[in-house]
Structure 1
Amino acid sequence: MEDKYQLIEMIGKGGFGVVYKCRERATNKTVALKRIIFKDQDEGVPSSVIREISLLQELNHGNIIRLLEVINNGAGVDLIFECLDLDLSKFIASYPEIAKDRQKIKGFLSQILHGVAYCHSYKILHRDLKPENLLIDVNNNVVKIADFGLARAFGVPLRNYTDKVATLAYRAPELLLGAKYSTPVDKWSVGCIFAEMVTRRRRPLFDGYTEFNVLMEIFRMFGVPTEATWPGVTSLCGYITKAIAFPTVVTRDLAAEAPKVGAVGLDLLSKMLILDPSRRITASDALQHAYFRI
């Protein structure tokens, strides 16, 4: 690998491994290298790595990160990606006035939705959408969805996939309550990201250290779901085991949390953040919303 790419600096680290900014020696082009080290060499390539590589090789869209090359590094694999400037989390931190820039927010949100709609059209769930996994080309105002380490293909009928996906603050209520799930989990995450862009909080809308904390934050905003608002919810294992501690009073208001988004923007945000996943707006329908025409 060193013969072809020169490591410049580490730009990210997580449970998967380390991401470096690199220079391709032959072209002088900057790329990103995601180094994954296999913990158990005797077990071969982990299924999650195989899944990520195969999904990224299948996807080809302007708002999804491009996988350029896969290299065996002896102890694992190096995934070579196109390199962008920074992620959305760092962009919001360095540009706090984004909450007032409606056109930039619309542009970013539209691109995120286009990428998500494309994934869903290929029956692929991302399952970890968050600002840190959205990369930005600052000069061209381009957003690309990255990190498909938790992504997977899905089929019909739905299977019981693991609910230990999505970073906690962006985890949909059906995941927190142990329900079967599909594409609406990604839509909830996008709604949380949208809210983060249009508020002045610069932190997740539903912040918490545990699943229960996050669930309580959600219920304090929208109320505890009932059979009338979410058919079948009271039969979910998470509802049954936690119901005794559910709050009875709604103390927060979505409109108050995002005062600058406007009535039309609030309508779109409300359609993304609906507790009942069957009523949550799809990515393709969201792109047709009046918010993008004003």
Structure 2
Amino acid sequence: MDKEVIAVSAMDAFEKLEKVGEGTYGKVYRAREKATGKIVALKKTRLHEDEEGVPSTTLREISILRMLARDPHIVMLMDVKQGLSKDGKTVLYLVFEYMDTDVKKYIRSFRQTGDNIPPQIVKSLMYQLCKGIAFCHGHGVLH
């Protein structure tokens, strides 16, 4: 089977629902896995292909994310899919567990209302952040 046909059909397994973020390395979509109905986060990253195919930095990032996914304080990378953009460029889709919000949005919601974050919630958030960072550091990954 042609490699391009496989790449395009790999993304047929998901239905993009909405764009939830955009950063330096790509766009993030809330999506539904068609077979299970499970909601996931799809991070679409365009590859800057070199002579070897997928850049070594991208392979290293995926390897680190897979290793770190074992910790409950770190968002889990579930899968990696290759596809083609509308203009025929190769893209990677990193399939993550979907989180309803992130710490930045959560803190912003308190600032917008003028409320203080309750101390117990601050302690809980800090504990979880420290546990996640400690796991990274314990595996030689600096964040």
Gaps of 5+ in 1: 127-294
1:10 aligned to 2:19? Answer: yes
- SS of match in other structure, 1:36: strand
Amino acid across the alignment from 2:13: K
Q: Deviations over 1:164-218 (max 9, x none)?
A: xxxxxxxxxxxxxxxxxxxxxxxxxxxxxxxxxxxxxxxxxxxxxxxxxxxxxxx
Rate the CA distance shift 1:71–1:98 in 2: closer, same or farther, 3 A.
farther
TM-score by length of 1: 0.41
Aligned to 1:70: 80
User: Is 1:11–1:19's contact at 8 Å kept on the other side of the alignment?
Assistant: yes
Aligned to 2:118: 101
Of the two, which has the highest radius of gyration? 1
Separation (CA, whole Å) in 2 of partners of 1:98 and 1:56 = 35
Aligned to 2:136: 119
Q: Shift of residue 95 of structure 1?
A: 2.1
- SS of match in other structure, 1:86: coil
**Runs of 4+ with >3 A deviation:** 40-43, 97-100
Separation (CA, whole Å) in 2 of partners of 1:93 and 1:113 = 20
Separation (CA, whole Å) in 2 of partners of 1:120 and 1:34 = 24
User: Is 2:41–2:95's contact at 8 Å kept on the other side of the alignment?
Assistant: yes
More strand by share: 2
Q: Deviations over 1:126-148 (max 9, x none)?
A: 2xxxxxxxxxxxxxxxxxxxxxx
Gaps of 5+ in 2: 1-9, 85-89
Q: Shift of residue 99 of structure 1?
A: 3.4
Separation (CA, whole Å) in 2 of partners of 1:101 and 1:58 = 33
Aligned to 2:30: 21
TM-score by length of 2: 0.81
Q: Deviations over 1:218-242 (max 9, x none)?
A: xxxxxxxxxxxxxxxxxxxxxxxxx
Q: How many correspondences in the alignment?
A: 126
